[in-house]
Chain A
Amino acid sequence: MTLVKTTFDRRSFLKATALSGGGMMLGFSWMSSCQPALEQETGLTMPDEWFDINSYLKIGNNGVVSIFSPNPEFGQNVKTSMPMIVADELDIDWKNVVVEQAAYSPEQFPGAPFGQFTGGSRGIMSKWQPLRVAGASAKHMLKQAAAQTWQVPVEEITTEAGVLHHEISGKSAGYGEMASAAAQISVPEEVELKEPKDFKIIGHSKKNVEGKNIVTGKPMFGVDYQKEGMLIAMVVMPPAFGMTLKSIENAEEVRSMPGIKDVFPIKTYQDDYKQGYFDTNAFPELVAVVGNSTWETMKAKKAIKAEWEPIKSSDNVINRFGTDINVHTPAGLENTSDHNTQMRALMAKPGKIARRDGDPEGAFKKAAKIIERSYSAPYLAHNCMEPMNFFADVKGDKAHMAGPLQGPGLIEPTLAARLDIPEESIEIEMTRMGGGFGRRAYSHHMVEAALISQKVNAPVKLMYTREDDMTNGIYRPTYTATYRAALDENNNLLAFHVKAGGVPESPLFANRFPAGAIDNYLAEEFSIDSNITIGAFRAPRSNFMAGAEQSFLDELSEEMGKDPIEFRLELLKRAGDDPVGQTNDYDAARYAGVLELVRKNSSWGQTTSDSHRGVAAYFCHNTYAAHVLDLKIVNGKPLVQKVTCALDCGIVVNPDAATNMAEGAIVDGIGNALYGELTFKDGVPQKNNFHQYRMIRMSEAPRDIEVHFVQNEIDPTGMGEPPFPPIFGALANALYRATGRRHYSQPFIGEGISLG
């Protein structure tokens, strides 16, 4: 057993019923609002009385345990896997557990703004210890309660599946019987945690706790939110990036349309507001339309006539979690063709050097052969299936908010500043998200909803249309990278050079593989200012760099006459045995581990007659991933037959759910690599809905996906992002083997153009 300090602030273990806000007062929760339905759903009898043990759990007098999932859920299944961690340490039978979504409560779940954040593949990694401690502390308090009741030493008490035992006296009691007494016990200063070998729930697949609700269409998403007297709001945004609202021309006329309550401009941020890092917002001035029903409001939205004007260029200071950063936003209507020209121009000039090992310039001069290849990728829209939306009920100095968002702690201060009310006066319910992918880390629409509610003095649900969602994006930026390798006359690798840039950010990670494996190494970068808003998109920057780097390594291995996996393993061996440089952001042995596992499980080296394979591996967000992808060309179109995936994310909490995540990341990556693209003409996104923006469909998804995990007892790391970036490379490399042609520019297939 491991002894750990209960690192929580005492305040986080306040009895939840004593709190004025937080998890206990969820009105929307199907669980607390509908106990009989829950009983029917779970087959469990709900207790007469609950006893709050700590922020994460309460125990009923009949032994049923309710566990709060602290982080918002967008499909990564934390609502199941986080409670699994608590339940295991608590020693409770999983079938006696019910799960509730916690509301935003920085007091109960400290660590703001990231205490209840879903993103960066941080959920399980950052909550691993707190969740275990919460379960173990509760178990300790139950044991103490039993020891006091039975007048026996606490050390003699054991637990199993929700029952306390005292072997010597033969006494035993269910957790429910001791819950009342346990709630009075003080929180222990330190608790014992289980050894991984003793886990009974962690590592054993559990079904999604929301499965039944999802397949029966129960309300659970932001768009499903209802409140008595609620109105529907929509917004009209400028037609192009680089434009802003000048005036509304026909407000009176639209106000008189059927079912319409009001039309007015809103300003999301005050002029003197210092924006935070996640306050990104292309269009802070909008036209709001409020009506009785969605369809009426949608029709009124279309009827709005407004005058728009060009933005002025601006220089702003943004607060990046306490550090000021300067951001220049140029005026103008931007074009993809101009971005590409600008990127090519900067690629031809020296960039900002991010890392230099040895003498790369000298080594390139001595080279017998230089391989140079350039890669590029376009802007991508997140296209969450549930468009952006938020419920707001602002009354006086109180705001009740509910909706889909990845980081309530990121936006609550913004809203407090805008409404000029204390953060404590804002209640945020986190609804299940219909996808996030990074987009919902930016919640300007929550502020918009609050301003609209405040103006009309009624609860409102702000709904973005699909077109709004796609054209008011916070996109994955467009990027480019050029790789160069210097070889001697015997095809030994002398030097490696990467230069990467983008609009408006560079995608470079200077200290990632193959840095550390090559004596002479140079990494440079550049960026180009833009007024097109960008932000986190599943595995930011990695989602481009992995494909570029892994395609280049593939081409390099071919040039050097080496097997692509063997070549990578040789580099990793060097990085492990005798690393170059001080800072290398990866563990070479674990990196090699996933390559070896995928090599074994894909039967690498055995040729298949009609299928073509590509391999790629990558490390990001603390997890190692490798894929082998097999494809055929059928009627000129690539058809992925199989993807074999190997992952090292440490302990796998919920294996089937983790497998599902990896499968999804693979499908998502193949879709984006083949079809994903958003271009701009005079500031206007050239696609606004799914008839134009091609998304991968079932017939284009792999026929088979096999996911393998490295077995170890390392603390778990993230699963949402890591399997995504390398699939771009595996696909590109398989496409080369199938077509004889390298693919350097994403998307690999343009709209309506097949490979040939």
Chain B
Amino acid sequence: MALFNLTINGKKQQVDVGPSTPMLWVLRDHLNLVGTKYGCGIAACGACTIHLEGTATRSCQLPVSAAEGKNITSIEGLSENGDHPVQQAWLEHDVPQCGYCQAGQIMSASALLEANPNPSDAEIENAMDGNICRCGTYTRIKAAIKTAAQVK
């Protein structure tokens, strides 16, 4: 165990965990930020996507030791009141079914739009193909991303 100083959603936090502990479990077990989801543990499904210095990152493969000193944003910190344009677009299109993957989808989508405010269909697919939606809401996710792109 060791102490790690983290910046999560703009807030300084200290956790006492083993250095190999993935950020996914630091967030969920130690900081009570459970919006970031476990889906596969091998970066193959995207449910655990967070922003590391603004880049979409699979938190299940990010050891806490590699996150120290970097800015981390989880779904809880994407916006103050849940009104990020991507979140609003998700509500407008009533995207979710079960909802489990959607935090990861939203984090991937918001990172995409930050880097590329007006993505093409192919660019959207390229950025989102790492996020599985088992319920199959892909057409709505894509439509919501396009709506959010118009807002931004």
- Residues of A participating in the B interface, judged by any CB pair closer than 8 Å: 74-77, 205, 207-208, 210-212, 214-221, 223-224, 226, 232, 258, 293-296, 298, 383-387, 432-437, 463, 465-466, 656-657, 660-661, 663-668, 671, 689-691, 695-699, 701-705
Contact = CB atoms under 8 A, between A and B. Distances in A.
Contacts of A220: 99
A665 B34 CA distance: 28
B136 A664 contact: yes
B151 interface: no
B3 interface: no
7 contacts: A258-B18, A385-B37, A386-B39, A696-B138, A697-B132, A698-B129, A698-B142
A386 B103 CA distance: 13
A690 to B, nearest CB: 4
B89 to A, nearest CB: 9
Interface of B: 1, 17-18, 20-22, 25, 28-30, 32-42, 44-45, 47, 74-76, 78, 82, 87, 90-91, 94, 96-103, 106, 124-126, 128-142
Nearest to B43: A691
A77 B126 CA distance: 29
A77 B139 contact: no
Given A77-B97, A215-B90, A698-B131, A665 B30 contact: no
Contacts of B75: 216-217
Contact of B102 (A215, A298, A689, A690): A215
B102 to A, nearest CB: 5
Contact of A697 (B102, B103, B129): B129
Contacts of B103: 214-215, 217
Interface residues of B, dominant DSSP: loop
Contacts of A217: 33-36, 74-76, 103
Given A293-B25, A691-B44, A695-B132, A432 B137 contact: no
A212 B100 contact: no
A667 B103 CA distance: 20
A74 B97 CA distance: 8
B40 A690 contact: yes
Contacts of A432: 98-99
Given A671-B136, A690-B42, A74 B98 contact: yes
A233 to B, nearest CB: 13
Contact of B100 (A435, A661, A667): A435
A695 B106 CA distance: 19
A704 B34 contact: no
B136 A696 contact: yes
Contacts of B130: 697
* Interface pairs A-B: 7 shortest CB-CB: A217-B35, A667-B136, A434-B100, A75-B98, A75-B97, A217-B75, A214-B99
Contact of A434 (B37, B128, B136): B37
Given A666-B136, A667-B139, A212 B34 contact: no
Contacts of A386: 37, 39, 98, 100
A666 to B, nearest CB: 7
Which interface residue of A208, A387, A434 has the most chain B CB atoms within 10 A? Answer: A434
A215 B96 contact: yes
A667 B137 CA distance: 8
A105 B128 CA distance: 41
Contacts, number: 192
A360 B23 CA distance: 65
B138 A385 contact: no
A295 B94 contact: no
A387 B45 CA distance: 12
Contacts of A703: 139
B137 A663 contact: yes
Contacts of B17: 293, 295
A211 B136 contact: no
A385 B44 contact: no
B134 A385 contact: yes
Contacts of B29: 232, 293-295
A215 B98 contact: no
Given A217-B33, A223-B37, 15 more contacts: A77-B97, A207-B94, A214-B96, A215-B106, A216-B76, A216-B87, A258-B18, A295-B22, A385-B47, A386-B100, A660-B94, A663-B140, A689-B41, A689-B44, A690-B44
Contacts of B124: 698
A463 B29 CA distance: 13
Contact of A657 (B37, B78, B94, B138): B94
B96 A466 contact: no
Nearest to A705: B139
Contacts of B106: 215
A661 B135 CA distance: 8
Nearest to A643: B139
Given A294-B25, A691-B44, A385 B39 contact: yes
Contact of B91 (A211, A293, A387, A671): A211
Contacts of B22: 295
Contacts of A76: 97
A258 B1 contact: yes
A434 B99 contact: yes
Contacts of B20: 295
A662 to B, nearest CB: 10
A434 B18 CA distance: 29
A537 to B, nearest CB: 13
A223 B131 CA distance: 19
Contacts of B100: 221, 384-386, 434-435
A385 B101 contact: yes
Contacts of B133: 385, 698
Contacts of B97: 75-77, 660-661, 664
Contacts of B126: 699
Contact of A224 (B34, B40, B42, B125): B34
Given A74-B98, A295-B22, A698-B125, A212 B136 contact: no
Given A217-B34, A221-B100, A690 B45 contact: yes
A226 B32 CA distance: 9
B98 A663 contact: no
Which interface residue of A385, A432, A666, A705 has the most chain B CB atoms within 10 A? Answer: A385
A433 B134 contact: no
A534 B140 CA distance: 32
B94 A434 contact: no
Contacts of B134: 383-385, 435, 437, 668, 695
A78 B77 CA distance: 29
Nearest to A433: B98
A665 B42 contact: no
Given A216-B87, A217-B75, A435 B94 contact: no
Contacts of A437: 134
A704 B138 CA distance: 10
B91 A701 contact: no
B128 to A, nearest CB: 5
A218 B44 contact: no
A216 B35 contact: yes
A208 B101 contact: no
Contacts of B82: 212, 215-216
B40 A698 contact: no
Contacts of A690: 39-40, 42, 44-45, 132
A384 B47 CA distance: 12
B8 to A, nearest CB: 13
A295 B15 CA distance: 14
A177 B18 CA distance: 58
Contacts of B39: 385-387, 466, 690
Contacts of B74: 217
Contact of B40 (A258, A463, A466): A466
Given A435-B134, A668-B136, A465 B41 contact: yes
A656 B91 CA distance: 12
Contacts of A698: 124-125, 128-129, 131, 133, 138, 141-142
A597 to B, nearest CB: 20
Contacts of A657: 94
A656 B94 contact: yes
